Amino acid sequence: MRLASRMSRLGTETAFETLAKARALEAEGRDIIHLEIGEPDFDTPENIREAAKKALDDGFTHYGPSPGLPEARARIAEFVGGRLGYDVPPERVVVTPGGKPIMFYTILALIEAGDEVIYPNPGFPIYESMINFVGGTPVPLQLNEETGFTANIDELRASVSDRTKLIIVNSPNNPCGSVIPHSDLEQIAEVAIENDLTVMSDEIYHDFYFEGEHTSITQVSGMPERTVILDGLSKSYAMTGWRLGYGVLPEPLVEPVSRLITNSVSCSAAFTQIAGIEALHGSQQPVIDMVAEFKARREVIVDGLNAIDGISCQRPKGAFYAFPNIRHTGMTSDDFANACLYEAGVALLAGTAFGEFGEGYARLSFANSTENLRRGLDRIAEMLANR
Ligand code: PLP
């Protein structure tokens, strides 16, 4: 079968491939510690599960409007507005099956052949994949370890050309766990406004802060009109499998993105949207408890990594990933990830799964028990010592 040539430009998310390899090893009887996948190892809180069951019984089992149920859009708008401190009109909210489709639809709706998109690198791999898929030109903006994995704003300014259409920001960042300082967000906003660019702000980790509080580029004056906020419930409420996310879009993007939803998935599942309202407006204690647990684990994993010869790791400010520098092991990122999986039985990701500037690093998700984190660290240390 001859596939369409565009398929050769579509990348992937290595986490899912590594998970499959790890599962294959487990099927052969190997014991694997999973530090590869980016999903909280907690159950969805009970009040949310109960709300979903009730919604099913109440008949929320049918098609709904493509941009989301009116009550879901209204309550999401209320939640986002409360979080960011400005009015969010419900008509700007679009509900999708997970946060990821917001990337897909935004890039599909905005970018044409030759358009340039500036995106963080290391960064979530689907940004680059989607930019390439639609024929755009990905322009990586390096996040530098020396500055706590933040971008150099002069470099950003120099990256802007006549063809630049979109800047993607992600704070807290996957995979680096870094946070964009508000002063940098102000400067990025200035660049966007000066050059009439759209921004996509991926805020899916907005609850996962170990230091300070979340700020959004949309809190800078003039930015809500030109920013797509990508967010969702997957991470904050341990709802990765529910597939529930949303975007807050500039007005001109609402209709095109809704049309893309009609053309692809029709709408998001109705009962999950009702459960999502409970998630956002019910008790937030489960989120607070989960983030506190991640903060404790951060100490275990960062201290543990820094105790291993050849590895050094900064303390992530947010998200739930450690992104250690592994250069002094003498291994490439890929070799390190393979040795961890096949020799040590620890599944983690090569930094290069997040772009070219991820070489020399690895990503370990600390969405696993403290005990398993310690076992994983011991295994990595032993594997390196035996080389
Ligand atoms: N954005 C970033 C930075 C992520 O890390 C992820 C998931 O790993 C997503 C978006 C997608 O989230 P969802 O599972 O809601 O589609």
Q: What tens digit of pLDDT does each residue of 226-277 get? A: 999 999 999 999 999 999 999 999 999 999 999 999 999 999 999 999 999 9
For residue 98, report the distance from its CA to the centre of ligand 1, in Å.
8
- What is the spatial distance between Cα 178 and Cα 149, in angstroms, rounded to a whole number? 6
Say if residues 276 and 80 touch (Cβ distance below 8 Å).
Answer: no
Atom of ligand 1 nearest to the CA of 234: 15
For the segment 265-300, what is each residue's pLDDT rounded down to a tens digit?
999 999 999 999 999 999 999 999 999 999 999 999
Say if residues 242 and 274 touch (Cβ distance below 8 Å).
Answer: no
Site to probe by mutation for ligand 1, drawn from 100, 206, 273, 323 as the one with most ligand atoms within 8 Å of Cβ, is 100
- What is the spatial distance between Cα 94 and Cα 250, in angstroms, rounded to a whole number? 11
Ligand 1 atom 5 nearest Cα: 174
For residue 195, report the distance from its CA to the centre of ligand 1, in Å.
28
Instruction: Tell me the CB-side half-sphere exposure of residue 2, using CA atoms within 13 A.
Output: 1
CA–centroid distance for 307 within its chain: 28
- What is the spatial distance between Cα 261 and Cα 63, in angstroms, rounded to a whole number? 12
234 lines ligand 1 (CB under 6 A): yes
For residue 203, report the distance from its CA to the centre of ligand 1, in Å.
9
Pairing assessment for the beta strands 116-121 and 93-96 based on DSSP bridges: unpaired
- What is the spatial distance between Cα 364 and Cα 383, in angstroms, rounded to a whole number? 16
Task: Using alpha carbons, select from 49, 20, 92 the residue that is nearest to residue 257.
Answer: 92
For the segment 114-154, what is each residue's pLDDT rounded down to a tens digit?
999 999 999 999 999 999 999 999 999 999 999 999 999 99
Token pair for residue 5? 């040539």
Can you tell me which residue has the tokens 């694997």? 32
Token pair for residue 282? 């019910």
Determine the length of the chain.
387
The answer to pTM > 0.95 is yes
Helix (H, G, I), strand (E, B) or coil at 29: coil
174 lines ligand 1 (CB under 6 A): yes
